[in-house]
């Protein structure tokens, strides 16, 4: 008998049994009135998770990458200028997508491990007196480095420069895990996917458009067909899709938002922060450091852990998979072979996190790294025990 171990990659995440069952449903006629009972609650639930009153929500059969293509092609034209920071693999990929679509990208090169430099954005925007920059791109949580950027600070930088640029945010590995305030931060397009904070299988690109982003639709000249939100919006008015929808995944999204909202978004964020803090305690006990340059930018969904110089961190990931049947994330791009990543988002608990820490320790010991078995586990245990006692006392 082979049992399924939890995964510790930054997505896809572990599936709660209730969501597995929600996705596994009989075939439903997506043109029947029953589909409305899935579609509308799913869209409304996402809107609440984004903390928005005014956003239009669109859900495509795709991934987060498809969500970014949706954002770009529906609102921009060939030759338009966009501003972005390159501080990790995923911000790099969005820059590459813009370039392939014929957009002119102003790139603020940023060391991997640091967050978006809002002050540099303000300088660039203030110098753009003709307002040729149409969009500012921001990766909220850089999954490759375990770095969270301050989106509120990016919005303040745009406003301080008195610039009309729209703000598009990649929240693929942050939304539904870490605090995200679409309206308060003035986010014009938010992009995420089903396979991370929403704890579902891969297969849905989830995007929120502000009224300002919606106003840009008819002026945009980039081609779009499958990802045309105008077609999607017209179909939504009839509780339908412009093509065959992923009904099971949409039903899962409906149930997922119900679970998140029932737990309470602030409780969801606190749970992710707590699990992340336990893992950070383990990393410190191992005598290692995170890729994130400072505590202020440490991600609550993924930790990229630097291994000693001369050691290929990818070997650790391969060893853990082959020997212990546990998945961790490899380093990507500039940090390939220098870090391994522990994903701690979605359906995860203290107990599951401890199993991941213990497995990482065994793999490191097997490969000769100077890590004492039990050191990271003990540090995380102490953190979880002390904070559990405080939490129970506060609830009493």
The pLDDT tens digits for 112-132 are 999 999 999 999 999 999 999
Judge whether residue 149 has pLDDT over 80.
Answer: yes
pLDDT digit string, tens, across residues 67-109: 999 999 999 999 999 999 999 999 999 999 999 999 999 999 9
pLDDT for 384 beyond 60 = yes
378 contacts: CB under 8 Å, gap ≥ 6: 285
Give the residue-averaged pLDDT of 308-320.
Answer: 97
Residue 302, burial from CB neighbour count under 10 angstroms (0-12, 13-18, 19+): buried
Tell me the CATH architecture of domain 17-262. 3-Layer(aba) Sandwich (3.40)
- Does residue 2 carry a pLDDT above 70? no
Neighbour count for residue 363 (Cβ, 10 Å): 24
| Beta carbons within 10 angstroms of residue 67's beta carbon | 27
Domain 17-262 identical in fold to domain 264-395: no
Residue pLDDT, tens place only, 34-64: 999 999 999 999 999 999 999 999 999 999 9
Of 130, 116, 132, 131, the residue nearest 84 (C-alpha): 116
Residues in contact with 166: Cβ distance below 8 Å, sequence separation at least 6, in sequence order: 75, 134, 135, 136, 188, 189, 210, 212, 213, 216
What mean pLDDT is predicted for residues 307-313?
96
How confident is the model over 338-372, as pLDDT tens digits?
999 999 999 999 999 999 999 999 999 999 999 99
> Is a pLDDT exceeding 60 seen at residue 250?
yes
Q: Is the pLDDT of residue 297 over 80?
A: yes
Q: Give CA–CA dist 63/348, Å, rounded.
A: 22
Q: What is the residue extent of each domain of the chain?
A: 17-262, 264-395
- Indicate whether 388 pLDDT > 90: no
- Are 346 and 11 contacting, i.e. CB atoms less than 8 angstroms apart? yes
pLDDT tens string 181-190: 999 999 999 9
For 264-395, CATH number out of 3.30.70.890, 3.90.1150.10, 3.30.470.20, 3.40.50.620 equals: 3.90.1150.10
pLDDT (mean) for 192-221: 97
Q: What is the mean pLDDT of the chain?
A: 96
Give the confidence band of 223 by pLDDT, cuts at 50, 70, 90: very high
Query: Which pLDDT band holds residue 3 (cuts at 50, 70, 90)?
Result: confident
Torsion angles phi and psi, residue 329, rounded to 5? -95, 145
């Amino acid at each position: 008998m082979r049992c399924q171990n939890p995964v510790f990659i930054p997505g896809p995440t572990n599936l709660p049994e209730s969501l597995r069952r929600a996705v596994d449903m009989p075939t439903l006629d997506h043109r029947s009135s029953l589909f409305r009972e899935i579609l509308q609650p799913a869209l409304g639930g996402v809107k609440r998770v984004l903390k928005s009153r005014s956003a239009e929500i669109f859900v495509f059969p795709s991934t987060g990458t498809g969500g970014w293509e949706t954002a770009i092609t529906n609102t921009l034209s060939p030759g338009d200028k966009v501003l972005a920071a390159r501080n990790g693999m995923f911000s790099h990929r969005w820059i590459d997508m813009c370039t392939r679509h014929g957009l002119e990208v102003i790139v603020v090169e940023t060391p991997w491990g640091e967050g978006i430099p809002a002050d540099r954005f303000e300088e660039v925007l203030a110098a753009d007196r003709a307002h040729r920059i149409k969009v500012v791109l921001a990766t909220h949580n850089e999954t490759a480095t375990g770095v969270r950027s301050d989106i509120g600070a990016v919005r303040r930088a745009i406003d301080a420069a008195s610039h009309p640029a729209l703000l598009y945010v990649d929240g693929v590995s942050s939304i539904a895990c870490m605090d995200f305030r679409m309206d308060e931060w003035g986010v014009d397009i938010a992009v995420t996917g089903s396979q991370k904070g929403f704890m579902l299988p891969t297969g849905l690109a989830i995007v929120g458009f502000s009224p300002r982003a919606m106003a840009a639709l008819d002026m945009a000249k980039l081609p779009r067909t499958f990802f045309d939100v105008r077609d999607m919006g017209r179909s939504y008015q009839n509780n339908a899709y412009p093509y065959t929808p992923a009904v099971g995944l949409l039903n899962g999204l409906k149930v997922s938002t119900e679970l998140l909202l029932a737990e309470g978004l602030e409780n969801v964020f606190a749970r992710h922060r707590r699990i992340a803090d336990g893992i950070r305690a383990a990393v410190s006990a191992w005598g290692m450091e995170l890729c994130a340059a400072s505590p202020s930018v440490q991600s609550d969904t993924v930790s990229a852990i630097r291994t000693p110089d001369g050691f290929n961190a990818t070997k650790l990931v391969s060893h853990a998979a082959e020997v212990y049947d546990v998945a961790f994330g490899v380093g990507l791009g500039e940090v390939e072979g220098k870090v391994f990543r522990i994903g701690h988002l979605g359906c995860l608990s203290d107990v599951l996190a401890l199993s991941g820490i213990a497995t990482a320790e065994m793999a490191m010991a097997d490969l000769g790294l100077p890590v004492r078995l039990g050191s990271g586990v003990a540090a995380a245990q102490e953190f979880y025990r002390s904070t559990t006692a405080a939490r129970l006392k506060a609830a009493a």
